[in-house]
Amino acid sequence: MKKIILIIAAALLMLLLATAGCTENKPAEQPAPVPTTEMPTPSPAPLVPTEVPATVEPVVTLPPKQDVDLELTKDRTYSRIYLLYNGGGGELFTNKIEMRVTRSDGIVTDYVMSDGKKPKRGDQIEAQGTRGSDRCEVWVTSAGVRYKVMDQPLIVGGAY
């Protein structure tokens, strides 16, 4: 009889030990995340990646003997932007002409006249603009010094 009581006690003890871990309160399971229906808005990528300066560079006038004639226009039909080099008194000193177009859709593109070589009269830069207000900045490197000579908003059909 003592053996039966010991066996029952041992079985009861084993049953208690086996269920001891199951008596803890489990934290409630986290609900599965609900997918959102918000669509990301794609942003246009610039044609040529450029670094936009943190400060605005002021427009300066070229020294009198280094002055050149630049003509900036925007075509009404196709929204094309043209920068025409007409030479001038500082033609001999002019080494390079650069243009940055910041379009109204946020695309910023840099251009270099004559593939970075010394420009000749009649050379031009042609850039695609928008129907909105685009911004055009122009730099002339004259006698080894880089001058910002234009910073203008452009609208369709205007001459500047």
pLDDT tens figures, 67-118: 999 999 999 899 999 999 999 999 999 999 999 999 999 999 999 999 999 9
pLDDT tens figures, 18-40: 666 655 555 555 555 555 555 44
The pLDDT assigned to 141 comes to 97
- Which residue ranges make up each domain of the chain? 64-154
Q: Which of 87, 94, 150, 81 is nearest to 122 (CA)?
A: 87
* pTM for the model: 0.64
Quote the tokens at residue 29: 């399971």
Contacts for 73-78: CB closer than 8 Å, 24+ residues apart: 73/158, 73/159, 73/160, 74/129, 74/134, 74/154, 74/155, 74/156, 74/157, 74/158, 74/160, 75/156, 76/156, 76/157
Q: What is the CATH number of domain 64-154?
A: 2.60.40.10
